[in-house]
Amino acid sequence: MKPKRTSIKNQIRKLIIFTAAMALVFTSLSGIISMYNIRGQSAKSLTDQLEETVDVVINGTSSLADSRLGLYADYITTLSELITDMYARPDAYVHKEVLPPDASKENILSMQRYFTTHEVKRENVLEELGLFGSLEALWNSIISEHEDVITNIYLATDDLMICCDRNANLAELEPDGESYYDYRNMEWYRNAMNGDGKASFLKSYLDSYGRGLMTSCSAPFYKDGKRVGVVSMDILTTDLTGSVIDVDLGKGSFAFVVDGDGDIIASPYTFMIGDRFINVSRLVSPELKARILADEQGVEKSNDGIYYAYAPIRSTGWKLVISIPETLILEPIDQMNGHIRVTIILFIGIFFFVGVVVIILGSRLGKRFTEPILALEKDVEVISGGNLHHKAMVRANNELGDLAHCVNSMAVSLDNYINDLTRVTAEKERIGAELDVATHIQSSMLPCIFPAFPDRKEFDVFASMTPAKEVGGDFYDFFMVDDSHVAFVVADVSGKGVPAALFMVIGKTLIKDHTVPGANLENVFREVNNILCESNSENMFITAFECVLDLVTGELRFINAGHETPFICRKGGVFEVYPVKACFVLAGMEDMVYKGGSCMLEPGDKLFQYTDGVTEATDANNELYGMERLNNILRTVGEKQPDEILPAVKADIDAFVKDAPQFDDITMLCLEYKERMVVNS
């Protein structure tokens, strides 16, 4: 059933009535719709306003706390990286032995050492004691700069502990002149040694020296790639939590800090019973407690009429919570009820009076407006029927006259558009057919039949190129230079589409033609570069990587013209970045000098090369795939064959990019040196 048709005249009348009514209602001083819902609407408005205010306050306050604690996490991360570097480059640091505790240095910033057990001998850890001693000045500087917050800094391995503070635990020296402290079961040591490798904070605890609430931030450090110890600092949180909970949103409101177990560790009121923290479950329901402890931000009302706003302090895993009683929000509502009834009656009377006047005026104005509209409707029907040369005859000196002129102009434009569209469609179909042919031509120029050399058992190669457009600028090639040498090329032409594809053909042909038996790759790239520069009016360039493998000796000679760094996987190992010096690009500047290099491949070794379309693949959030993700996937496929490695990498890229469009060509090549070539004498 078709909907009931409403004339324009009635629509205009209704529009005028509605507009006048809305103007009357929304310009009124009281804004009251009815005495039955005014209280609820006002309460909601006040609640929303308070929630917005609280959201801003709690977000800013939690961010402040997070940034402060994040600073100490950055300190620990930096110290972890420094100690790891000290192990890697011990000769780069000035050695200074760390001495046992000295009672004369109490309240003076200094380093002191402890051994875990009597079995640890000083001469066995003397090198580490001297190496760690070079940290004293840096640690003293950090503690002095934050003396109201950081109480001490210390590091520990399975054998020894180095501590720097001014409240030293001056344990009595053993007869051998040393002090011992077995900390290996302490939470700060275990968590860091067994954790995720990042700086982490402990649950808050009361300082044994009576200085207040404290936490520890720890991170592991490494030697030869293995986790061998922990660096940590003790942080007083009293000043921090004091500034965080100093929030005043009205009478009865207050803020408090909750740790990861739900214990209230900071509040303007007493938050401990004896030596135990009060848990937030005393204030809120289990469901609300779970949401507070989750890593999210929100504002919720509890069953007892209290609003709780909460947000995470991400550096420590703590939560900031603000409590606001509902009575504080609804207090202004009780002052509004006295004038509601009189205001409603007054504006209802005005509304009906204005309504009668508007109905009368609306009927008269509707007729005046609809007559030229009906005439224009008939003209449009004629034009829409296909008569694009018909002219609308409305001559009104207003918007309707302008509309009639636009209709006439539209008819002319539509007629021209149809003619142009016919021509453009034919041209587009022609170009599309030509691009399809170009796609097939380009794909046929690249080696695409695998195995590429089925009669050669000394090596295996697999390559792929996925263009971003119909044709691309990336290319790869592999060919036998002579019976015992095989060449491999991976390159990327600047730009996209047909121009890049044409330049690709030239570059590919020149590189292959100049790579002849006995040719020096440095001379090959120098000659190819000069030829490309001669007629490069479009200022295009090529990044290229070429290598030649000696199948008898396993020597791999290579040269890199501004291209990506390759990966090499030794037999039984994993793919790792192989640092290759990148020279200037091809076709960038005449008479460039290129410097190559070489390395030895053993049977079972693999080489992986690619273009920047791999690392610069972008997801819907404009995040790059990057070298780290490429390195991670390659480390899992080192034992696979080349024709399995490339699909695995491409699948990982596709899983990362998902439905985001491809902006650059993706080209990859993998070579495996399987066995040495036997030369018959």
Q: Where are the domains of the chain?
A: 447-673
CA-nearest of 86, 215, 209 to 149 is 215
Q: Residues 330, 332, 335, 340: is their CA dihedral positive or negative?
A: negative
At a CB cut-off of 8 Å and minimum separation 6, what does 233 contact? 72, 75, 76, 142, 150, 152, 153, 154, 216, 217
pLDDT for 149 equals 86
- Please state, in angstroms and rounded to a whole number, the distance separating the CA atoms of residues 586 and 506: 12
Tokens found for residue 259: 């740790």
What are the pLDDT digits (tens) for 543-560? 999 999 999 999 999 999
Encoded tokens for 399: 């918007």
Reduced to 3 states, what is the DSSP secondary structure of residue 229? strand
Residue 41 has pLDDT above 80, yes or no: no
Question: Which tokens go with 222?
Answer: 């490494």
Read off the pLDDT band of 427 (50, 70, 90): low
Question: How would you classify residue 239: left for phi > 0, otherwise alpha for psi between -120 and 50, otherwise beta?
Answer: alpha
Which of 623, 650, 622 has its CA nearest to residue 634? Answer: 650
pLDDT bin (cut points 50, 70, 90) of residue 419 is confident
**Structure confidence at residue 254 (pLDDT):** 80
Question: Which residue has better confidence, 338 or 545?
Answer: 545
Q: Percent of the chain scored above 70 by pLDDT?
A: 80
Q: How many CA atoms lie within 13 A of 381 on its CB side?
A: 6
Taking alpha carbons only, the member of 579, 580, 568 closest to residue 635 is: 568
Does residue 499 have a cis peptide bond before it, meaning omega lies within 30 degrees of 0?
A: no
30 pLDDT above the threshold of 80: no
- The residue assigned the tokens 């779970």 is 290
Is the model's pLDDT at 48 over the cut of 80? no
Q: What is the mean pLDDT of the chain?
A: 83
Architecture of domain 447-673: 4-Layer Sandwich (3.60)
Is residue 422 predicted with pLDDT exceeding 80? no
Helix (H, G, I), strand (E, B), or coil: what is residue 205?
Answer: strand
pLDDT for residue 563 is more than 90: yes
- Tell me the torsion sign for CA atoms 357, 360, 364, 365: positive
Q: Is the pLDDT of residue 438 over 60?
A: no
Higher-pLDDT residue of 223, 296: 223
Q: What is the rounded radius of gyration, in angstroms, for the C-alpha atoms of the chain?
A: 39
Predicted confidence at residue 40, as pLDDT, reads 60
Q: What confidence score (pLDDT) does residue 313 get? A: 81
Q: What is the pTM of this model?
A: 0.43
Q: Is the pLDDT assigned to residue 370 strictly greater than 50?
A: yes
- Is the distance from CB of 321 to CB of 291 less than 8 angstroms? no
Local confidence band at 437 (pLDDT 50, 70, 90 cut-offs): very low
Question: In this structure, how many other beta carbons lie within 10 angstroms of the beta carbon of residue 518?
Answer: 7
User: Residue 61's pLDDT is what?
Assistant: 76
pLDDT at 38: 60
Q: How far, in Å, CA of 60 to CA of 43, rounded?
A: 26
Q: Which of 41-50, 305-314, 465-474, 532-541 has the lowest mean pLDDT?
A: 41-50
Tell me the per-residue pLDDT of 201-225, one tens digit each, with 9 for 90 and over: 887 777 777 777 788 999 999 999 9
E strand residue ranges, 449-538: 459-466, 474-482, 485-493
Q: How far is CA 178 from CA 98, 117, 134, in A?
A: 12, 10, 20
